[in-house]
Amino acid sequence: MMKVTNHGVHEALQSALMDACKELFGLPPEQKAEFMDAGPMDPVRFGTGFNSAVDGARYWRDYVKMFAHPELHCPAKPDTLRGVAAEYAARTRGLLLELTAAISESLGLEGGRIAERLDLGSCFQILVGNHYPPSGGPDDDGAVGLPAHSDHGLLTLLFQNGVDGLQVKHDGRWLLAEPIPGAFFVIAGDQPEVTSRSTLVSCDSCVAHTRR
C-alpha cells in the first residue's frame, strides 16, 4: 500500500462525492429498497453489515456499490450524485491507468503491458461508499467496520473524511494508516499479485475500525 498526492483529483471533488454519499445514506429506507436485495453483479447495490459476522468479528457499516465503467450506474437520488460520480469516476480511472503504467515499468515491462493484458479498457470500475456509524454503545462490543481482508480487484483508491481507522498488517503487526488530506491510499489487490507471480505483493490484509 502507498499514498499518492498531487494526483489531479481535487479535494473539492472528493468532498462533493462524500457529501452526496452522506445524503444518499440518509435517504428514507423506501427510496433505497429496490437496491437492497441486489446481487453481487447487479450494477447498483446497497447493503448493511449490522449484525452480520465474519470470523467472529461483527460488521459495522452501510455501503453502496455502483458500476462506473464501462457505463456509470447510479441511483436517481440524491440529484447531485450522478454528475459528481461521473466526474470522479473519470478522473480516478485516469489515475488508475497512470499507476498501472508505472507498475508495468517498475517490473521492466512496457508501460501499457498490464492494461493490455488485463484488458483494462473494458473492465469494471466500481465506486464504493462506506458509512461507519460511531460505535461504543452497550450492544456493539467487538464490532469493526470491516474484518481483516484483501481486496479482490486490481487497485483500490481510498480516501477518508479525516477520521482515521484503517489499519494495515505488515510484518505481522497492525499499523494505523493515518489519512493525509486530499491523498489517496493505493491498495494493491489480489490481481496484481497473481498476474506478477507474486513479484508485486499486496498487503497482508486490511481492516477498518469504527471510531469510538
Q: Delineate the domains of the chain, giving CATH numbers in brackets.
A: 2-208 (2.60.120.330)
pLDDT at 47 over 60: yes
Q: What order of strands is seen across the sheet that includes strand 53-54?
A: 53-54, 57-59, 143-144
Tell me whether strands 166-170 and 173-176 are parallel, antiparallel or unpaired.
antiparallel
Which of the pair, 87 or 122, is modelled with greater confidence? Answer: 87
Tell me the sheet residues that pair with 64.
46, 129
- The SS3 of residue 142 is coil
CA dist., res. 149 & res. 140, Å (int): 21
Instruction: Give the model's confidence band at 203: pLDDT under 50 very low, under 70 low, under 90 confident, else very high.
Output: very low
Q: Which of 41, 49, 14 has its CA nearest to residue 207?
A: 49
Are residues 35 and 75 in contact, defined by beta-carbon separation less than 8 angstroms?
yes
Total-model pTM = 0.83
State residue 152's pLDDT score.
84
DSSP 8-state secondary structure symbol assigned to residue 203: P
- The SS3 of residue 198 is coil
